[in-house]
Amino acid sequence: MPAISVYKSLNRSLWIVIVAYLVLLSSSLDLLSWGDDAYFSEVANTRNLFAWWWERYLQWSGRIAIDLLMVGTITLKWFWHLLVPLTILLLSYSMLKLTKWQISAAKILLVLIMLALAPVEVMAESFYWVTGFYNYLLPSALALFCFTELTAPRVVMWRRVLASLSVLIFAYQEQVTILFCLAVCLSLYQQRTPFKWFILALTLANSTLLFLAPGNASRTLGSIFMYFPNYQDFGLLEKVLLGVDKLYNVFVKSDNWALCIFMVVLLAISVFKPNRSWGEKISAMVVGLYIICFFLQHQSGANLNESLMGFSYQGGIDAESIPSGRTYTGYLLMMWVMSAVLTLMLGLMTEVKESKFALLALVFGVMSVVMLGFSPTVYASNFRVQVFFELGLIVATLYLLRSIDKKTVLANIQRV
């Protein structure tokens, strides 16, 4: 009885911490007086909503559902003050459900901490910027919630209705709908259900309106002129390298603690794996070296080099820049580390069942960034488009941590 009482007291205290964090987060949100926040606020106050909405669809963007929701509610401060923290809570809950963790205050707090430790520039633009919330946080949380309902073992009708309605919003975000459709197609190999087919068809129908919007062509032409005048001459390799450069940009961020935590967890699990191959041992050394360099760059002193991770190149190619040997060296080092990660994760598959799902989450995160190279707007959205890489890292970390929680790795330790 005393142990149960202590657990309940601790659980209650953690919920208080979570609520306090979300309330403080909500109170710190505000509209910017410039940029997209100012533009959409002005539209909401001065334009006919549906006339503007149709004009934007024809001339600029296919995100019709998101644009309509955003302009209709952006001037209602109570709406996004309430919805931003609730959506972050929904995202945390969905991540735990996806990775088959039992929901508890401690585990939700763990996810919130990992989200808070993701790069500041990425999260500020995608979660805490009001316009970014509508275009990135909300669609990603709804898509993840919908996918967890697709794979849920128990049918709850009201949750399935909400999942179906959520498609009408997240299907109008390009990165989200591509990743979601790929994930659903993969899940259909495991189990085919009428509900999965229905959600996939509904998503494809709505995303057709997104990708075939007349405004996409005019925005693409404007972006080519502004960012890459010779983009139409780029081949497959050049476009892939643009995406790789965008990935490199987030890979070398000095505050990408989500990436560092993933590396630490992966290394900790791998070193206790019995019968490791030479490739796994070398890969473990490479990942360990990455972790050491990550922490060293946060040290300061007269005799310490401040650019151990990123060298002098931090990513960000434009039409006027000429890639140098240092640029490609950075790419090769990133690929070396990623190859080491891949080797370790493939090696874990025989011992840790969750590692294959962790690898899928990581692959989806990488794809979400590399695919940006196939658009001339690859650098137009700054850092917010990299948020799906961070979410993939967190999901992959949760899968690996769950393998420890299930005593899989602890059993290996006893055998060593």
CA angle 369, 180, 366 (to 5 degrees): 20
CA distances from residue 338 to 158, 247, 344, 377 in whole angstroms, order as listed: 41, 11, 10, 26
Confirm if 170 and 208 have CB atoms less than 8 A apart: no
Give the whole-angstrom CA distance, residue 251 versus residue 3.
44
Q: Residue 36: is its pLDDT beyond 50?
A: yes
What pLDDT is attached to residue 315?
61
Q: Minimum mean pLDDT among 105-114, 157-166, 377-386: which range?
A: 377-386
What pLDDT is attached to residue 405?
56
Q: Give the pLDDT mean for 20-25.
A: 95
Own/partner contacts of 106-112, CB < 8 Å, gap of 24 or more, are 106/10, 106/11, 106/14, 108/18, 109/14, 109/17, 109/18, 111/394, 111/398, 112/18, 112/21, 112/88
CA nearest neighbour of 284 among 262, 309, 263, 259: 263
What's the pLDDT tens digit per position in 204-254? Answer: 999 999 999 888 877 777 766 666 777 777 788 888 888 888 888 888 888
What pLDDT is attached to residue 244?
87
What pLDDT is attached to residue 102?
87
Q: Residue 373: is its pLDDT beyond 80?
A: yes
**Per-residue tokens: 259:** 């990436």
What pLDDT is attached to residue 299?
61
Give the whole-angstrom CA distance, residue 64 versus residue 61.
7
Structure confidence at residue 355 as a pLDDT band (50, 70, 90): confident
Higher pLDDT, 326 or 170: 170
Which amino acid, residue 325? G
Share of the chain above pLDDT 90, in %: 50
Q: Residue 379: is its pLDDT beyond 70?
A: yes
Structure confidence at residue 303 as a pLDDT band (50, 70, 90): low
CA angle 32, 394, 78 (to 5 degrees): 30
Confirm if 55 and 71 have CB atoms less than 8 A apart: no
CA distances from residue 7 to 10, 14, 80 in whole angstroms, order as listed: 5, 11, 34
Structure confidence at residue 322 as a pLDDT band (50, 70, 90): low
What pLDDT is attached to residue 331?
82
